[in-house]
Amino acid sequence: MNHRNPCGRGFSPDAFREKRSGLKPLPQGFTLLELLLALLLLSMLMVGAWTSIHSATRAVDSGEKLIDRTNKLRVAQEFLRRELSQSQALVIEQEPTTGETILFEGDAETLRFVAPMPGYLGRGGPYVQQLSFERHEGDLRLLFRHAMHNGYKADEEPLEDPDLEPVVLLERIRDARFEYRALDDAGKLDDWTDEWDKKGRLPLLVRISVEFEEDANLVWPEMVVPLMIDTGQSPLRDPFMAPFTGG
């Protein structure tokens, strides 16, 4: 029931008592359930944000590692192509009984040859170089070893010196092999073979086949390296010179 003061204005007894006591009504706060729901939503948002940041960080890290592996693969290919293409007909080893010389030797897993090192790695003069696919702790790797040709003695096996730390060119390999190709006695290209034991001769071509582990995410393109043509081998038949040579 409304009451009117002498001035004719309405008022309620509750408002009058609050005015007399000097107290104001307290605003209502959040309940415990509302606070728990708010904390739950905040936690879910933080977890989602952390997951997104972690996934982005892993993607960036994975991309950087892939780029690094790809760059290493490219550098290894360029190094192999450069060194093999500059192979020289210099003696690695000589048979003591027959006097036959070994200028280049290799099989499916290992090859040795003589070539100059890049300027920033060599100390002048050619080097005996060895490439080999070797397994280490379950990982198949391509290793590179080298020793100066001047003073090289094959019977002392300087390339197998344990103090000589090999250079890892490739790793995470599942399968790999070296193959060689040369001219036959008729001057035509012979078939590929996984062993080169011909004395006093260099192969005409060297093929390096590599297949990486699936999780390495790397692809090795077919690599065939032509070596410097040894003039002591069977001559190539050039069809353009046939009219002048009678070939």
Whether 130 is in a domain gets the answer: yes
**pTM for the full predicted model:** 0.67
Whether 168 is in a domain gets the answer: yes
| pLDDT digits 0-9 by tens, 52-111 | 787 777 766 666 665 677 788 999 999 999 999 999 999 999 888 888 999 999 999 999
Whether 224 is in a domain gets the answer: yes
Terminus-to-terminus CA distance in the chain, angstroms? 132
- Overall number of domains in the chain: 1
Whether 88 is in a domain gets the answer: yes
Residues 6+ apart with CB under 8 A from 112: 92, 104, 105, 106, 128, 129, 130, 159
Amino acid 88: pLDDT: 93
Position 120 pLDDT exceeds 60: yes
Whether 46 is in a domain gets the answer: no
Band (116; pLDDT cuts 50, 70, 90): very high
Band (245; pLDDT cuts 50, 70, 90): very low
Amino acid 61: pLDDT: 64
**Contact indicator for 125, 148 with CB cutoff of 8 Å:** yes
| pLDDT digits 0-9 by tens, 2-50 | 555 555 555 555 555 555 555 556 566 778 887 888 888 888 888 888 8
Position 144 pLDDT exceeds 90: yes
Whether 204 is in a domain gets the answer: yes
Amino acid 207: pLDDT: 97
Whether 26 is in a domain gets the answer: no
List the domain range (segments joined by +) for residue 165: 67-230
Whether 18 is in a domain gets the answer: no
